[in-house]
Amino acid sequence: MPSTEITQMAFDGNEGWNTNFMTQKAEKMDAEASANMKSQTGDFPDPFLGYKERGYTVQLEGKETIEGTETFKIKLTKKPVKVEGKDEENVLYYFFDVENYVPIAMKTTIKTGQMKGATVETMMSDYQESNGLYFPFSITTKYNGQTGEAIQIDSVDQNVEVDSKAFAFPEGQ
């Protein structure tokens, strides 16, 4: 069976695109989606790094137990996103293990598209060390409580050069 390369989401610094799962063709995102992506490029590798400088706010909302683990519930309010031309609140909730201070979950609500209004939960586990940093080697995403994706990571490479062409929209599509 021939393999198919699917780009779930790419952004070249100005324009976003992804692969349409039905047609297997690359499709450009609309201008609003690209603008929202551009406004959040500073979030990589983590939205908490330099959050004040980007105009974000962070608030401790107490403790909550997530799948048997006691966590600190942190509300991260980012700059609003545009949805159908209007600014909408952009809030994410992070849940940090109270013993190790690593994020084990993140929750938000989808703002656009077919899944608009759905709750998205990203669960992170199996933390392993790579060059002095810890990364979750298991990531599961749930939509309204139903598992959508489960990712198992084999290794993490850091400071690897990536050709900028990897983010460019494939011409001829």
In this structure, what token pair is assigned to residue 45?
């590798």
Does domain 47-154 bear CATH number 2.50.20.10? Answer: yes
How far apart are alpha carbons 114 and 67 in whole angstroms? 28
- Which residues of the chain are in CATH 2.50.20.10 domains? 47-154
Angle at 168 between CA 46 and CA 83, to 5 degrees: 60
| φ/ψ (deg, to 5) at 38 | -60, -40
Which pLDDT band holds residue 9 (cuts at 50, 70, 90)?
confident
pLDDT at 1 over 50: no
pTM higher than 0.75 for the full model? yes
Alpha carbon of residue 24 to chain centroid: 22
pLDDT tens sequence across 98-117: 999 999 999 999 888 788 89
Q: Report which of residues 120 and 112 the model is more confident about.
A: 120
Angle at 158 between CA 130 and CA 17, to 5 degrees: 125
How far apart are alpha carbons 139 and 141 in whole angstroms? 7
pLDDT at 98: 97
Q: Where do we find the tokens 């509300």?
A: 75
